[in-house]
Amino acid sequence: MRKNIVAGNWKMNTTLQDAQALISEIVHMVQDEVTGSAVEVVVCPPFPFLTAVGKQLPEGSRFHLGAQNCHQKESGAFTGEVSARMLQSMGAEYVILGHSERRQYFQEDDELLSQKLKAALAAGLRPIFCVGESLETREADETFSFIEKQLKDGLFHLSNEEFDQVVIAYEPIWAIGTGKTATSAQAQEVHAFIREQIARAYDAEAALNTSILYGGSANAQNARELFSQPDVDGGLIGGASLKSRDFTEIIKSF
């Protein structure tokens, strides 16, 4: 079901105390200031703080809990890893998969991501699946073929029912944490392309029903313009999600 979503990816930031203070501020500001719009807010703190942050999210509200990654296996001797079922048991509803930082620093490829997607879905989590090109790829004019391949190899093996649960995030790598945002036209162009690919792989209804978020230096100043594009259904926010005022302003941009 297509929804407007603003997701905050806290990455490897905050202590437990910082995380509790941050979510408390965000919840208060959002509850006081965001009244009308139907935007859903997903908060993705580091693994160890999921329970504590989850407890501070008001039940039945627009707030949902998400994780930043999961392991591909259900359980077993994988020291230091975290399964999708564990996340679900801690109250997580979403999990980010395929983030470019995971692909780049942890060598996560399409094959592994396919397994992680299956594991997340089997545990009842909704994946936020990330795609996006590097600056080199964009400059070589290969953005569309690159994203087409990421979608085909990583995501489109899912059944229609499984795909229904997926949110896609377009995150151009050159825009992540750089202060260099894609223009709203650049974002719209790629989002529309992603929707077209979904229609081809599944059908027009699936394409219309999929939420596609933009990520990459989105902030309180540019969110309104980005979210006004017809195929941009929200944002996956990094840096600005660590500042309660900025994150709230982004949520208010719908």
Ligand X SMILES: O=C[C@H](O)COP(=O)(O)O
Considering the complex, state which of residue 69 and residue 217 has its C-beta at the smaller distance from ligand X.
217
The stretch near ligand X (CB under 6 A) out of 105-113, 159-167, 196-204, 233-241 is 233-241
Residues 24, 183: Cα–Cα separation, whole Å: 32
By CB under 6 A, tell whether 216 contacts ligand X: yes
**Structure token digits, residue 103:** 């692909």
User: Which residue from 172, 195, 201 is spatially nearest to 184, judged by alpha carbons?
Assistant: 172
Considering the complex, state which of residue 36 and residue 179 has its C-beta at the smaller distance from ligand X.
179
By CB under 6 A, tell whether 237 contacts ligand X: yes
Q: Which of 101, 108, 148, 171 is catalytic?
A: 171
**Residue whose tokens read 């603003």:** 6
* Coil, strand or helix at 64: strand
Residues 198, 50: Cα–Cα separation, whole Å: 32
Considering the complex, state which of residue 170 and residue 202 has its C-beta at the smaller distance from ligand X.
170
The answer to whether residue 71 is catalytic is no
Query: Using CB under 6 A, which of 4, 9, 197, 210 touches ligand X?
Result: 9
Contact between 75 and 83 under an 8 Å Cβ cutoff? The reply is: yes
The answer to whether residue 171 is catalytic is yes
| CB-closest chain residue to ligand X | 238
CB of 215 to ligand X, least distance (A): 4
By CB under 6 A, tell whether 127 contacts ligand X: no
Query: Using CB under 6 A, which of 46, 98, 154, 215 touches ligand X?
Result: 215
Q: Return all residues near 196 (Cβ < 8 A) that are at least 6 apart.
A: 207
Contact between 248 and 28 under an 8 Å Cβ cutoff? The reply is: no
User: Which residue from 239, 221, 111 is spatially nearest to 171, judged by alpha carbons?
Assistant: 239
Q: Which of 64, 71, 99, 191 is catalytic?
A: 99
By CB under 6 A, tell whether 133 contacts ligand X: no
The stretch near ligand X (CB under 6 A) out of 73-81, 195-203, 209-217, 220-228 is 209-217
Residues 46, 93: Cα–Cα separation, whole Å: 14
The binding site for ligand X (CB under 6 A) comprises 9, 99, 171, 176-177, 215-218, 236-240
